């Protein structure tokens, strides 16, 4: 099948996520390897966002592919009530890297499902109904996970499948502080307000946070924030759920982002990089205390593909590859280089308001006015399908052979952890050139 035929069939018969269905003109990906992929005409593209911040090991990692192939010829499927060697090996490998205390595992096939399980578990264990989340967050697309999502993707479905009980807390977003304060004189008010909320709200089962916010801006908290949130939730007997679907697996230079601050949540969810995204796998990890609540009580969750052996064998292989290639350390050192170069680029472009990040996970926030920090576009523009300045930038990068995710008014720079310095420079040079399109639309300082 040639590329045009493949495109036609997909476009005419498939839904595409998070956008209006009309006008979709997908690129046909014919091959992918390392930090790059190729279209049906053989043109190469540098994957500067690891697709959806997922292919941390790069494309087509040989060890992970071999684990998938080997498992497919031995035990390709077993019902969740059975044990398999793949399940045992993956569990042992995971227990070796998860934060201390997280030693009970429930498997699924996506980050959305991992969060759905975590929310159901938290409510069942505590016999409470409310969940505290944050406005700049994304936790998934199913009923409970979209209900605790703070960004605009929640709005169109709130009357369709919303699970009641979400309360939203302020974000730890210093560039746009919801209190109009400045760190460190703010006293980390965004964390202290959570104490106020939990004291007065009542019936709160859990707080769910992305330790480093993903799609909504790669927002890295100040050092005191997560340890204080952990202390506050413990003081109120509220479970803490760390959503590490994007921020884990070396992306920010540690196995898990919470490791940067020595925080131990009650539940942790992850997906994407757990297999290098070569097969879909989600994980909900809990403490033994949470698990023990179900020893004599019915566990109200499950699905056909829980602990699917074809997804678990590559998880163990992927963990081995992160170690063999030294990717956590590489993410830290290359991340320093990436942020230094991004800041150098930002200094030349009036359309860049802030550069931020941790490890190989960075955001470039676009503004039409640096002084007022007014963004080019808002969530309402995205939801309404209006033209976005960030799309001009990512479109120019794509024409230069570099794929980079843009979201509302920022770009997400998150290449595979195996990326070379030459590839980093190639992507950054394409970004530097493309930002001139945003500069042309920026306002002159008053």
- Report percent pLDDT > 70 for the chain: 99
62-72 vs 309-324: helix axis angle to the nearest 10?
Answer: 160
Helix (H, G, I), strand (E, B) or coil at 267: strand
As a whole number, the mean pLDDT across the chain is 97
pLDDT digit string, tens, across residues 269-321: 999 999 999 999 999 999 999 999 999 999 999 999 999 999 999 999 999 99
What is the pLDDT at residue 10? 97
Q: Which helix (H) or strand (E) holds 438?
A: helix 421-439
Q: Which residues pair with 284 in a beta bridge?
A: 106, 269
Predicted model pTM: 0.97
62-324 belongs to which CATH class?
Answer: alpha beta
CA 218 to CA 246: how far, in whole Å?
10
State both tokens at 238.
Answer: 């509220």
Q: How confident is the model at residue 244 (pLDDT cuts 50, 70, 90)?
A: very high
| pLDDT for position 8 | 96
pLDDT exceeds cutoff 80 at 161:
no
- The fraction of the chain above a pLDDT of 90, given in percent, is 96
Distances (CA, A) of 368 to 31, 41, 371, 438: 38, 37, 9, 8
Say what the pLDDT of residue 446 is.
Answer: 46
Give the pLDDT confidence of 32-45 residue by residue, as tens digits: 999 999 999 999 99
Distance CA 444, CA 342 (A): 22
Q: Regarding beta strands 282-287 and 102-108, do their DSSP bridges make them parallel or antiparallel, or are they unpaired?
A: antiparallel
Say if residue 159's pLDDT is above 90. Answer: no
Q: Is the predicted pLDDT of residue 75 greater than 70, yes or no?
A: yes
Mean pLDDT confidence for 348-362: 98
In the chain, domain spans = 3-57+326-439, 62-324
Whether the pLDDT of residue 160 is over 90: the answer is: no
Per-residue pLDDT tens digits for 313-354: 999 999 999 999 999 999 999 999 999 999 999 999 999 999
Q: Which CATH class is domain 3-57+326-439?
A: alpha beta
Is a pLDDT exceeding 60 seen at residue 445? no
């Amino acid at each position: 099948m040639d590329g045009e035929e493949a495109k036609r069939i997909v476009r005419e018969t498939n839904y595409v996520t998070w956008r209006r269905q009309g006008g979709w003109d997908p690129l046909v990906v014919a091959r992918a390897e390392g930090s790059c992929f190729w279209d049906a005409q053989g043109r190469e593209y540098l994957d500067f966002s690891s697709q959806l911040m997922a292919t941390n090991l790069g494309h087509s990692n040989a060890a992970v592919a071999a684990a998938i192939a080997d498992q497919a010829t031995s035990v390709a499927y077993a019902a969740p009530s059975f044990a398999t060697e793949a399940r045992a090996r993956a569990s042992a490998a995971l227990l070796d890297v998860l934060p201390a205390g997280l030693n009970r595992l429930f498997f699924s096939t996506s980050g959305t499902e991992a969060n759905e399980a975590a929310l159901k578990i938290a409510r069942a264990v505590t016999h409470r109904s409310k969940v505290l989340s944050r406005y700049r967050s994304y936790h998934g697309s199913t009923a409970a996970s979209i209900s605790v999502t703070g960004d605009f993707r929640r709005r169109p479905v709130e009357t369709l499948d919303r699970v009641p009980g979400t309360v939203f807390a302020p974000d730890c977003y210093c560039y746009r502080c919801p209190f109009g304060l400045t760190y460190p004189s703010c006293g980390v008010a965004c964390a202290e307000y959570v104490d106020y909320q939990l004291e007065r709200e009542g019936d709160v089962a859990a707080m769910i946070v992305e330790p480093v916010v993903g799609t909504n801006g790669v927002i890295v908290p100040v050092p005191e924030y997560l340890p204080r949130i952990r202390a506050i939730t413990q003081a109120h007997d509220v479970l803490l759920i760390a959503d590490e679907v994007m921020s884990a697996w070396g992306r920010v230079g540690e196995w898990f982002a919470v490791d940067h601050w020595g925080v131990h949540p009650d539940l942790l969810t992850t997906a994407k990089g757990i297999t290098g995204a070569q097969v879909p796998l989600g994980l909900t990890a809990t403490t033994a205390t949470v698990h023990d609540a179900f020893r004599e009580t019915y566990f109200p969750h499950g699905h056909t593909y829980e602990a699917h052996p074809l997804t678990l064998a590559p998880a163990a292989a992927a963990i081995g590859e992160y170690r063999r290639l030294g990717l956590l350390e590489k993410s830290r050192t290359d991340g320093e280089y990436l942020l230094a170069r991004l800041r150098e680029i930002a200094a030349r472009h009036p359309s860049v308001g802030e550069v931020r990040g941790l490890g190989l996970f960075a955001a470039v926030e676009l503004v039409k006015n640096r002084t007022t920090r007014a963004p080019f576009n808002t969530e309402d523009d995205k939801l309404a399908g209006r033209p976005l300045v960030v799309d001009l930038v990512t479109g120019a990068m794509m024409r230069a052979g570099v794929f980079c995710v843009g979201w509302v008014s920022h770009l997400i720079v998150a290449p595979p952890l195996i990326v070379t310095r030459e590839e980093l420079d190639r992507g950054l040079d394409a970004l530097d050139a493309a930002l001139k399109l945003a500069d042309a639309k920026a306002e002159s300082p008053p």
